[in-house]
Amino acid sequence: MTDIIPAPPVPRVPVRGGGTFPVRRIFCVGRNFADHAREMGAAAPASKAERGTPVFFHKPADAIVTDGAEVPYPPGTNDLHHEVELVVALGADAPAGELSRDAAQALAIAYGVGLDLTRRDLQGAAKAKGLPWDTGKGFDHSAPISELVFAADVGGLEERTLTLRVNGAIRQHGALHDLIWDVPDILHELSRLYALKAGDLVFMGTPAGVAALVPGDTFVASLDGVVELGGRITG
């Protein structure tokens, strides 16, 4: 059958060394660093045995903004916040059923660094009423992302760190060994709820230090020693 409208373009992320990664879906993880959970007024687990289950939400695939692009200040908010995050790119479809940790890790083809931009006032108002907070998270241009680097070139993540500088000053810094749920944990938990596919991205959660961005701010996010993402807020 013939489409009645032109097919929308597939969002794509550049890959270091050449080529692009077509984005199918964006999963995000909430409260995956204890220090950030506490700064948001939530309880943080004292041990893995007490961590419960992760919090997941989504962003539209076309929320992607690639490195160096300008990010327009979104409508409907007076409190846009930054959240620097590790991004995991899946390079294969998961087999049916619940993934083991080993099988989960094998799906990760590449890593990057991204920002989970958040309309904090809208999110806070929705949370206060016990309502979903999609409008606070899943909006246009809300997922700036660096180029992707193949996992084989990154190596182990445990000793890697994330840093965000705004106007040259450090706003956020955190170590990936402090993740409450690491990459295999998160992919395992996602596999219990969704069919994971090649083209999926997972934003892994942010350390403490989230704060407001305003028009004119410049930012540089880094998965330290691996890749950087730069951009500017316009409005």
Give SS3 for 158.
coil
- pTM confidence score: 0.94
In degrees, to the nearest 5, what angle opens at C-alpha 42 toward C-alphas 57 and 45? 95
Q: Where are the beta strands (DSSP E) in 61-178?
A: 64-66, 70-72, 80-81, 84-90, 108-115, 118-119, 143-145, 149-150, 161-166, 169-175
Question: 36-40, 50-54, 144-148: which range is least confident on average?
Answer: 36-40
Half-sphere exposure of 65 (CA within 13 A, CB side): 21
Q: What is the pLDDT of residue 51?
A: 78
Share of the chain above pLDDT 70, in %: 94
Task: Kindly state the helix (H) or strand (E) to which residue 223 belongs, with its residue range.
Answer: strand 218-223
The DSSP symbol for 73 reads P
Q: Are 202 and 90 contacting, i.e. CB atoms less than 8 angstroms apart?
A: yes
- Is residue 40's pLDDT more than 90? no
Q: Are 89 and 13 contacting, i.e. CB atoms less than 8 angstroms apart?
A: yes
Domain ranges of the chain: 12-234
The residues with which 26 forms a beta bridge, in sequence order, are 59, 201
Average pLDDT, integer, range 49-72: 91
The DSSP code sequence of 125-152 is HHHHTT---HHHHS-TT-EEE--BEEHH
Close Cβ partners of 125 (under 8 Å, ≥ 6 residues apart): none
Mean pLDDT score of the chain, rounded to an integer?
Answer: 94
- Is residue 38's pLDDT more than 80? no
Q: What is the pLDDT of residue 43?
A: 64
Amino acid in position 110: A
Both structure tokens of 130: 């016990």
For the domain spanning 12-234, the CATH number is: 3.90.850.10
Share of the chain above pLDDT 90, in %: 88
Amino acid in position 133: W
